Amino acid sequence: MKKLMVFLTFVLAAGVSGCESEGTNKEYSMESRVFEKIKENPFVIEKEKVSKITSELEISAHELLRTLVPIAKKFAKPEISGYQVGVAALGESGNIYLGVNLEFADLPLNTTVHGEQFLVVVARNHGEQNLVTVAQSAAPCGHCRQFFHEMGVSDDLAILTPGAQDTKLASLLPESFGPGDLNLKATLMKPLEAASICMKSSIASLAIDAARASYAPYSLAKSGVAIQTKDGEVFKGEYLENAAFNPSLSPMQTALVALVAGMKQYSDISRVVLAEMKGSKVNQKPLTRHILESITQGVELELVDVSN
């Protein structure tokens, strides 16, 4: 992680050549100054730090969000496309969260974790119950608009994209289909059990805890993954479903979001445990194994049962 921080600091501080405009130089300078203030934990910027940064740099929250987008992009892992996505969102709590895209080589494209999905998972892991404003490197695709809609209270979510007028999610997703159409109340951002992205405890028990905290109202097939790194830290992920089914995230995908947001590398993984219910309509074992084999070698998937 130290080498990564040194590299990113160098890249952001390097600036641009003298032939570029003064405006571009100022933009790079602002990115560098912001990164210096958040580099220890860039994916979660707590309310107090947000207030301090905006005050010291004399910028608005929206300006900070826009500045954070290119910083976030540098953490993306687009193994197939090479296309980096960066997303930054202001939560109702006042915290700011970052999101990036994750792609997995040799696997189908539908295993990709979109930047917006990454963002929602990080916010959810930290107890956020609603997002207010999202700044993005490009407009959200239909897949991500649907994923945002699962939050239930997010139709007024403000979307900021380069070169376009600020807009609301409702205008980007007209005649939407969501939990309400299935007579369900959206609870994607309101888990029944508190989620913790990192703690030292039994890896099997954390996988079971993640499974029990899943958002699986459509299949009822709760499942969770816990990933242990070589230094003993454990990152867990919960199964998150969507009313449109396809934008759902497997527990392995959400566990990897927690891992990356925790500034760890795939090569740091030492153990992976999947907890799921026997006989359920959704089986997470094949996908979990395929993703694990794609990102690391020599780590066997361990399985535990989650009782009803």
For the annotated catalytic residues, the residue numbers are 116
Tell me if 206 sits within 8 A of 195, measured CB to CB.
no
Amino acid at 85: V
Q: For 177, which DSSP code? A: -
Tell me if 293 sits within 8 A of 263, measured CB to CB.
no
**Count of residues in the chain:** 308
Tell me if 102 sits within 8 A of 118, measured CB to CB.
yes
- Report the DSSP pairing between strands 301-305 and 269-276: parallel
Alpha carbon distance 156, 119 (integer Å)? 17
Q: What is the DSSP string of 9-25?
A: HHHHHS---TTS-HHHH
* Nearest partner of 266 among 232, 242, 230, judged by Cα: 230
